Structure 1
Amino acid sequence: MISKYTMALLFLSLILPGCKDEQREKQLVDRENALAEREKTFAIKEADYHSLIRMRDSLATVRDTVILKTWPISVDGLWNARLVCRESSCTEYVVGDVRSDNWEFASDSTNIFTRVYSKEKLVRIYSANLSGSTIELQFATDSTSQKKVNINVRIDTTGTATLKGEQIVVIDDKCRAKFSVELTRSKIQ
């Protein structure tokens, strides 16, 4: 009888450790799979991190290359404008007409522009371009306006106290008026 028990114990001692090996092997495989999954997640996060670093660096580079446009000190600010009609094929303007306005040469973070005030009321805003010693101003009414008006102004900036130039007004592509422009620095800044 002892030999039966001995044999049974011997048999069980051989089988039970084999079961533990299978369980340990399964646990090891599960751990390896979990580790592989964590490595994939980490690789994705690392790629996102490097992508964000590259984007940050590219934004910093772009920011460094942005050039803010401003008017030269000799032009920037408020000016008194006197416009005299020299030629006209428009019924709205007569040769010899004189207009007096205030022009403000200003800039913001995106561009330079010129505001025109008549009797302290904003009349129009010109988009502007400064090329060497020449200022070019453009204004066009939008598509909802009853009249299509295009105004182009060229001003020479070589003068110090007075700037002179020319304004051309085209209405509905049918008539044209040409004005001489004389700007003097306003005492009110």
Structure 2
Amino acid sequence: MKQILFLSFLLLIVLSGCGMQEREKLVKNKEKELARKEQELITREEALRLKEESLAKKQQKLDSTQLDSAFYNPSITGSWNVRMVCVETNCTGSAIGDTKNEIWDISYQNDRVIAKAMTDNTVVRTYEGTYNNNLLELRDNIEVSPNTPATEIVVRLTLLNNTLEGQRQIIRSGDCRIVYSMQLDKGNNVILLN
């Protein structure tokens, strides 16, 4: 009887050992499969990174082509009296009908148009952009800081006779948008009060 118990116990140990070996094989196979999939993922990520770099280079070439073909118009350079009237807003602290008056000094630097916005002879903002097909497009991106939300300002103006007319759109994070109609007149630069 003791021998039967001993043999049964020995058989049980041997059989359980076989199960362990099978489990170890399964674990090793799964580890190999996981390593293979991880390598595939790394390869795909590298291919995606290269494709993104290629697209960025193509975009940069397109942008530089647009800049190279930018039109230089001396009639937009100089000082301009700027009048802005708020025509659309969903931001707190801003209301339709609000007005702003500034003096803008517009010049060219290389292929870029630079507009320095001044109030009381102090530069309050500098826009940068292009002039193409009678359209002046300027941008100013305000960096995020603890006191100011991310803000993008886009100005689109069309030259008509001796004036520039168009819109200034301010877009802030948090679904805040303000649109001003704009009229810029070249002239004697009388400082306008807000």
TM-score (norm 1): 0.59
Q: For each residue in 1:89-144, what CA deviation from the matched residue of structure 2 results, as whole angstroms up to 9, or x when unmatched?
A: 01131100010001111122463211111111101111111111101111111244
Q: Is 1:154 paired with 2:148?
A: no
Match of 1:86 in 2: 87
Q: For each residue in 1:34-70, what CA deviation from the matched residue of structure 2 results, as whole angstroms up to 9, or x when unmatched?
A: xxxxxxxxxxxxxxxxxxxxxxxxxxxxxxxxx6978
Q: Quick one: percent identity of the two aligned structures? A: 23
Q: For each residue in 1:3-32, what CA deviation from the matched residue of structure 2 results, as whole angstroms up to 9, or x when unmatched?
A: xxxxxxxxxxxxxxxxxxxxxxxxxxxxxx
Q: In the aligned structure 1, how far is the partner of 2:102 from the partner of 2:174?
A: 25
Q: Is 1:123 paired with 2:124?
A: yes
Match of 1:140 in 2: 141
Q: Is 1:73 paired with 2:61?
A: no
Q: Is 1:95 paired with 2:96?
A: yes
Q: In the aligned structure 2, how far is the partner of 1:143 from the partner of 1:88?
A: 21
CA 118–81 in structure 1, closer or farther in 2 if over 3 Å, else same:
same
Q: Is 1:114 paired with 2:103?
A: no
Tell me how many residue pairs correspond in the alignment. Answer: 122
Tell whether the 8 Å contact from 1:148 to 1:173 is kept in structure 2 after alignment: no
Match of 2:25 in 1: none
SS in 2 for 1:74: helix
Tell whether the 8 Å contact from 2:71 to 2:132 is kept in structure 1 after alignment: no
Q: In the aligned structure 2, how far is the partner of 1:169 from the partner of 1:160?
A: 27
Tell whether the 8 Å contact from 1:139 to 1:150 is kept in structure 2 after alignment: yes
Tell whether the 8 Å contact from 1:82 to 1:99 is kept in structure 2 after alignment: yes
Q: In the aligned structure 2, how far is the partner of 1:156 from the partner of 1:70?
A: 14
Larger Rg: 1
Tell whether the 8 Å contact from 1:69 to 1:107 is kept in structure 2 after alignment: no
Structure 1 position 72, deviation (Å)? 1.2
Match of 1:57 in 2: none
Structure 1 position 172, deviation (Å)? 1.6
